[in-house]
Amino acid sequence: MLEYYNYIKSLHLIFVITWFAGLFYIPRLFIYQIEASQKPLPDRDILGKQLKLMAKRLWFIITWPSAILATVFAIWLLILMPAWLQQPWMHVKLGFVVLLIMYHLKCHHIYKQLQCDVVKWSSGQMRMWNEGSTIILFSVIFLVIVRDAVNWIYGVVGILSLAIILMMGIKLYKRIRDKNPDA
């Protein structure tokens, strides 16, 4: 079975990429849905209907299948290489995978609310939420590539710095957008 290792790893990576593509885009659609819900009729109805359809297709045709397939291929890789489970970096990576799954499930909860026209988030809050998958992606990629060579203190400081930079960028964009609504 080890002769198929590179094929399985390739499929795992492909589905991780498409899973993240869905997770990057679905909160953006949520932002548009939230903003459309504040528009006057008939714009609200027209935009709301189209955005719900787009979210449904993205979520169930790309994001969920990719999440499931990425997980299946990951488990298969761990079965082929059980020694990885003895590596400390793999424990940390699996911790981030649990965070990613929790993020995904929370996005599903938000998706279901918005499909029923229940808006509990502001567009600004959703912009902040949108960066969660980015922080997880950076964490996992650096962890997998650098592995044991990473100094955990620098790694934590780096991820926190990334989060702060992303949040500052969102706030800066909000200021620019408030001054120029067409931006």
- Which residues are annotated binding-site positions for heme? 12, 93
Return d(Cα 167, Cα 139) in angstroms, integer: 17
Residue 120's SS3 state is coil
Residue 41's SS3 state is coil
Q: Which residue ranges make up the annotated binding site?
A: 12, 93
Return d(Cα 116, Cα 105) in angstroms, integer: 17
Whether residue 140 contacts residue 97, with contact meaning beta carbons closer than 8 Å, is answered with: yes
For the CA atoms of the chain, what is the radius of gyration? 19
Residue 103's nearest CA partner among 136, 54, 61 is: 136
CA 134, 135, 138, 139 torsion-angle sign: negative
